[in-house]
Amino acid sequence: MNKHLKSTWIASALAVLSVATFAQTAKVDMGKREYDTKCANCHGVSGKGQGPFAEFLKKSPPDLTALAKANGGILPMERLYQSIRGNNVPAHGARDMPIWGREYSLEAANYYGDTPYDSEAYVRARVLALLEYINRLQAK
């Protein structure tokens, strides 16, 4: 094996090993990432409803850390899922919170393009990751 080919092979092997090592050690918290990008501006980093955009809203965002406490100690997952997904929008009147289900569907369409994919599964996975993180925010 010539010297150039050998050094290229070694560099490639090291790159693969470093990526594999990083993937094993780096933990991606999908729910936190969803929360930080979709919710924290209104609900705040801590989930208490004091995000930087809260003052601009007509109605204060709820304290997400107290949802389970207000529901007999159980996080109302179905109600939250429907609210985030956008399925419980009243026929008349304004909705304060964005419909993230529609946003997720558009993101999936942009990401996958012409590749076949299950839009509902994509949206469901994103919303469930977010709900899992909100569950971790609950006051003990």
pLDDT category of residue 72 using cuts at 50, 70 and 90:
very high
Give residue 28's pLDDT: 87
Tokens describing residue 98:
């964005």
pLDDT of residue 86: 83
pLDDT one-digit tens code per residue, 96-139: 677 788 888 888 888 888 888 888 899 999 999 999 999 999 99
pLDDT confidence bin for 63, thresholds 50/70/90: very high
Interior/surface letters 10-21, b for 16+ CB within 10 angstroms, e for the rest: eeeeeeeeeeee
Helix (H, G, I), strand (E, B) or coil at 70: helix
